[in-house]
Amino acid sequence: METTSPVLPPAILEAGTDMHALLARLFPICRSITGNGVRQTLAIVQEYLPALQLHEVPSGTPALDWQVPAEWNIRDAWVKNAAGERVIDFRQHNLHVVGYSTPVRGWFSRQELDEHLFSLPEQPDLLPYRTSYYQPTWGFCLSHQHRLALQDAYYEVCIDSTIDEQGFLTYGELELPATEAGENPADEVLFSCHCCHPSLANDNLSGLVVAVALAQALAAQPVRRYTYRFVFGPGTIGSIVWLSRNPEATARIRHGLVLTLLGGPGPFTYKQSRRGGAAVDRVVALALRDTAVAHNTRPWLPYGYDERQYCSPGFNLPVGCLSRTPFGEFPEYHTSADNLHFVQPKQLSEARALLLRICGIFEHDQVYRNLRPYGEPQLGRRGLYKGIGGGLEGQEWQMALLWVLSLSDGDHSLVAVAEQANLPFELLHRAAEALAATDLLAPV
């Protein structure tokens, strides 16, 4: 089943405040790997990306080595004391209920209840985030202080949920076709993010809202050499389902990034693809260098987010993972402290700007051939030592021209030139365009 939204003028996400406003709108929704929370989230995303298609895959559908799980929905959940007061209340915070909890109703002793309670003694004021997708059980999460305060002998428990074997898994997909032919007009760039975590702002709503803003910016560009594909799916099972249903698309992916944890205060972190030296790994490294922001790069690790599905040996796609501080390495991770205050507009804006720089390198990377390779050509009589586009005179501009001419032998791309010259890619791209406007340079 596939659905699209009515065509409405979308709200444009340009500033970090715009992205944060969308994040705040999505934050209260109870999401999981299936169910109405995912549908509601993606329906809101459709307001910003009207061309987004929603796919509904029936429970039980085989997907590689997995099956689409039963659909989970929850209406209410609580623990009441003997006086009938809600001492744990799902309506107060989504994280109070273990994700995918089976329905339950009855009285439990304090000891029996304790087997189904989860808290963080080392962070006694915070709620943990816990799930049980594939092992049926039920439970509640609460602060450790709150847990210690439960002193009644018996408590009434209710989890009003459903687990429907006839349900569906929902994911969203957006395709922005190339507008002009590059080396191969079918080549694609993949961006993937999660839409499953409830009331966690950095993990993973930040990746989702940055993906929406990036998609809007790319859609507005009049020229695209690549097709850009965005997948909004639940963690792990979403990418597995997408891969199982799209073997043709996987063959067209030339670059890819999983976007996650982009709203926290830490430095950018890039986890390389399984290939290590793939073009996407080099391009992200170049963009981070040119942006001059705090960052670090990590080698491939077969654990983490959906890059481990895209990079599994049978697919081995060139997909890396871009985040800020990685999962599990900041104290707010998977707790109620991952809230709207933890994610700031500036952090979202910086992530969008970095991704647009990365896409700019994808778009403008090109192999050229020097048409006057014997000796250094006379640049002055071709006007190339004069200002190009204003303010480009000077030593750096001259070095950009010379580096492009020196390495344009039909084998080196502009990315390779930028790596060796240690000059900004955008400057070298302008130099190549200026040279190509004369009789000195031609694209291969």
Q: Which residues are annotated as a binding site?
A: 197, 203, 334
From CA 84, how far away is CA 169, in angstroms rounded? Answer: 36
Contact 278, 284 (CB under 8 A): no
Which residues are registered as beta bridge partners of 61? none
Q: Which of 255, 247, 215 is nearest to 231 (CA)?
A: 215
Q: Which of 269, 257, 389 is nearest to 317 (CA)?
A: 257
From CA 196, how far away is CA 120, in angstroms rounded? Answer: 22
Contact 302, 263 (CB under 8 A): no
The structure tokens listed for 170 are 């929902």
| Dihedral over alpha carbons 286, 289, 290, 293 (to 10 degrees) | 140
Detail the residues annotated as belonging to a binding site for Zn(2+): 197, 203, 334
DSSP H/E element including 420: helix 414-421
**Burial of 82: CB neighbours in 10 Å, binned 0-12, 13-18, 19+:** exposed
CA 265 to chain centre: 17
Q: In one letter, which amino acid is 32? A: S
Which residues are registered as beta bridge partners of 158? 78, 105
From CA 389, how far away is CA 429, in angstroms rounded? Answer: 13
Backbone angles phi, psi at 365, to 5 degrees: -65, 135
CA angle 305, 309, 312 (to 5 degrees): 130
Q: In one letter, which amino acid is 345? A: P
Contact 111, 124 (CB under 8 A): no
